[in-house]
Each structure stands twice: as C-alpha cells, then as structure tokens.
Structure 1
Amino acid sequence: MIALFVVGSAILVWRGRCQTESQARRLGRVLAVLTAAIYGATLVYFSLPPTIDGSVPLRLTDLATVAAACALWSRAQWAYALTYYWGLVLSTQALISPVLTGPDFPHYQFLAFWAIHLLVVWAAIYLTWGRRMRPRWRSYRFTVLVTVVWAASTFTFNRVAGTNYGFLNRKRLHRSHTSYH
C-alpha cells in the first residue's frame, strides 16, 4: 500500500502542476465525487445494522474525508486547511500504523479503509504540491479550533455512550506494528 501511495502521490503532483485551471477543476471534482461515493458507501455499510460504537460518524477520518471532498470540489480555504492538517498530519498515521480489525485483502472492508485514507492524503498532496494551495496561520487556528471542538464533543459522547471514537477515552484495543506498550 505504501508503494501505491507513493506512486499515486507522484502522479497527482505531476498532473496538478501541468493542468489548466479547467482541467484542475474537472479532476478535483472527479476526485471529490469518488471520495464522497466511497465514503458514503462505507458509512452506509458500517451503519447496517446500526450500532452505537460503530455507526456514528465521529472518527476524525469521517470529518477529514468530508473536508477533502469539499476541498477538492470547491478549493475553499477552510476545507483545504482541514484537509492539509488532518490529511498530512493525522491520516498519514493510518498509512503507517493502520488499525485493521476486519478481513484482509481483497475484502471490501480492507479496500474501503485504504481507499478512504489514501484519498484524504492524496487530496492534501494534490492541492498543496500539485495545485500549489497553501495553508495560512488563520487556517491553522481554524483547524485547531475545529479539532478541539471535535475532541471535546467526541470525548463527551464517548463518556455518555461508552464508546471510544477517536481513541480519545482509552487506548486502542488492537495493536499495530508501531504500538509500544
């Protein structure tokens, strides 16, 4: 998966730099629809049957995926900022240290996990190095504020519901190859 990530990143940066504005808008929208479609299908799949500890879209990945789709579609600075900071800083952790508790390749749960995380990071890479968008200090403050609100809300929900979205209330149960205990 890391090789796919590197190759996909290189292609997106290269394409982003040699596109006209019209081509960039078209590719951004195609990637946005692809991201939203995969996320929507994944959300529906994990919501059936609904469970309190798996169906509520409170993982930061949920928000990062929506932000990435919005940023790719509109190139709005607020959506780009969330995609940049969450995608490059947080979603890359899922590539390095994934928490895979379901079936292995070629199962669709496996493919959906990797597709969502790759698309979020690729969106940040494409917009930053391909289309040369840049975060601003104001964007950083906005992202910190949104992240704090998400963490407080999710922590509170976890306490009330007995869940652990975002691993905010306790350590994750499944160790990855980079876990130290």
Structure 2
Amino acid sequence: MLPAERAFVPYGPSHLVLIGLIVAGAIGFGVVGRRVRDPVRLARGFTAVMVAFLLPMQVWFLLPGQWDLAHSLPLQLCDLAWVVAACALWTRRRWACALTYYWGLTLTPQAMITPALRAPDFPSPQFLDFWGEHLLVVWAAVLLTWGIGVRPDWWGYRVSVAVTACWGLLMLGFNTWAGTDYGFVNRKPDNPSLLDLFGGWPWYLAVEVAVGMAAWALLTWPWTRRHGMAKSC
C-alpha cells in the first residue's frame, strides 16, 4: 500500500492542476500553431521534446529494478499513442495523423478523467510518465488539427477503427496467455471508469466498440462537410 500522504488521489490537488494544464495547453497549441510562420518546425520541435521526455521514462520501466510483466511493457494504448503522435507530428503521415486525432481526443481524455494510476504523487516517475504521455498526446492532436490544419476524413476513420480493433484483439490474446490486463480488455480497471456503465465482461467490450465507433463518426462528420478543407489525415 502507498502512504496516503504520497499516493496520487483522483481529483486531488495535483489532478486538478493537471486538468487545468491540459486545457490551457490545448488552447495555447491551437492558437500558436495557427500564428507561427513555420508550423512544421514547431511540430518537429514538439516531437523532439516528446521523445526526449518519454523515451527515457519507458526505458526506466524496463530496468531490472522496475520490471513488472503486468505494467512495464509498452502495450497500453497510451504507450502506442505517443509514438504514433510523434510520427504524425514529424511526418504528417495520414494514418498517424488519424490515429492521433481519434486516440488523442477520445481515449486519452477518458484515461485522464478516470485515471487508473496507483502510484506516488508528483514527482514520482510513474506519475510523470502517466501524465506526460496523456498531456502530450492531447496537445499533439490539437496542434495537428487546429494548429497545422490536418483534418480527419472517412479514410482515416476506417483505418483508426481497424488498427484499434487489431490492437484490442492482440491484447486479448496476450493477456490471456500472460495473465495481464493491458488495455483493460480482459477485465475492467479497479478504479471507477466509463466501462462500469457498459455491463460485465465480455459485453462491455462490444458496447465500448459501438460507442467508440459512433463517437469517432461524430468527430469525423463535421470536417467532411466543409469545403476547401486543408490537408486530410
């Protein structure tokens, strides 16, 4: 058990500060991205910061003293999301931009609203890694979409649904073999979450897919109705 005075507490002071930081940063990147003369340089600079901060954190979790099969492997969606976001910012590949948009604006915020984090509070490595991944992915999605002008389309929607479904199936198989629960596809997290509204296993997975696809479609539709759009993702 973590000492109460050191443990991260959902909606405690640090959590509330971070929520405010997420909102402020998203607004800032959306505004600054439109005003800078060279948004590509801004995006690549942001990528460098992201990699310089998060890659050493990932290596730290793989060290012998920190290794834990259930938590150390970079298999959570947020672990993949920051790598994909870095690729999208650097290359603006359509598939990477699409995944960053959908993951960064739906799944990542959900994890921040109901964080499954049992760790010491700031400035522990677990705290910094968890919140660093989530904040940077959200900001990357905002910078790409509202700052640089990379827009989602139905091709990106289909790719994102397919990639996410394949990841979920792979995690289901790996978790069954290894006795882990990456992605919470084999059981719900212990902390309260949106999944609690979707029934028991495996039914909550089907509901999650249906709700997710509908939400992503709603996030795609307004952009596809606009004429003279900027680059699609």
Return the TM-score normalized by structure 2: 0.72
Moved over 4 A (4+): 176-181
Query: How far apart are the structure 2 equivalents of 1:46 and 1:68?
Result: 21
Task: Verify the 8 A CA contact 2:33 2:143 in the aligned structure 1.
Answer: yes
User: What letter is aligned with 2:177?
Assistant: V
The one-letter code matched in structure 1 to 2:60 is Y
Query: Tell me, which stretches of 5 or more residues in structure 1 are unaligned?
Result: none
1:109 aligned partner, one-letter code: Q
Selected match of 1:171 from 164, 185, 188: 188
The structure that has the greater radius of gyration is 2
**1:39-68: CA deviation from partner (whole Å, max 9, x where unpaired):** 211211111223321222111111111110
CA shift in 2, pair 1:10/1:43, >3 Å: same
Structure 1 residue 178: Cα displacement: 7.0
Instruction: Tell me how far apart the structure 1 counterparts of residues 77 and 193 of structure 2 sit (CA, whole Å).
Output: 21
**Following TM superposition, by how much is the alpha carbon of 1:15 offset from its aligned partner in structure 2, in angstroms?**
0.7
2:74 alignment partner AA: P
Name the CA distance, whole Å, in 1 between partners of 2:176 and 2:142. 35
Task: State the TM-score, normalizing by the size of structure 1.
Answer: 0.92
1:102 partner SS: coil
Rounded to whole Å, the distance in 1 between the matches of 2:126 and 2:40 is: 30
Go from structure 1 to structure 2 and tell me whether the alpha carbon gap of 1:177 and 1:79 turns closer, same or farther (over 3 Å shift).
Answer: closer
Kindly indicate whether the alpha-carbon contact (under 8 Å) linking 1:38 and 1:116 is maintained by their aligned counterparts in 2: no
Give the Cα separation in 2 of the matches to 1:2 and 1:95.
Answer: 8
The answer on 1:93 being equivalent to 2:110 is yes
SS in 1 for 2:160: helix
**1:14 paired residue number:** 31
- Which residue number in structure 1 is paired with residue 165 of structure 2? 148
Distance (Å, rounded) in 2 between the aligned partners of 1:177 and 1:53: 20
**1:140 counterpart letter in structure 2:** Y
Q: What RMSD, in angstroms, separates the aligned Cα atoms of the two structures?
A: 1.7
Larger displacement relative to structure 2 (157-166 or 111-120)? 111-120
Match of residue 26, structure 1, among 41, 45, 48: 41
Count of aligned pairs between the two proteins: 178
Take 1:63 and 1:10, find their aligned partners in 2: how far apart are those partners?
24
Secondary structure of residue in 1 paired with 2:120: coil
Tell me by how many angstroms 1:132 deviates.
1.6
Instruction: Note if contact 1:47-1:54 (Cα within 8 Å) is conserved in structure 2.
Output: no
CA contact (8 A) 2:87 2:96 kept: yes
Distance 2:22 2:92 in 1: 22
The one-letter code matched in structure 2 to 1:45 is W
Structure 2: gaps (5+ residues)? 1-17, 198-233
Q: CA deviation at 1:157?
A: 0.3
* Residue number in structure 2 paired with 1:122: 139
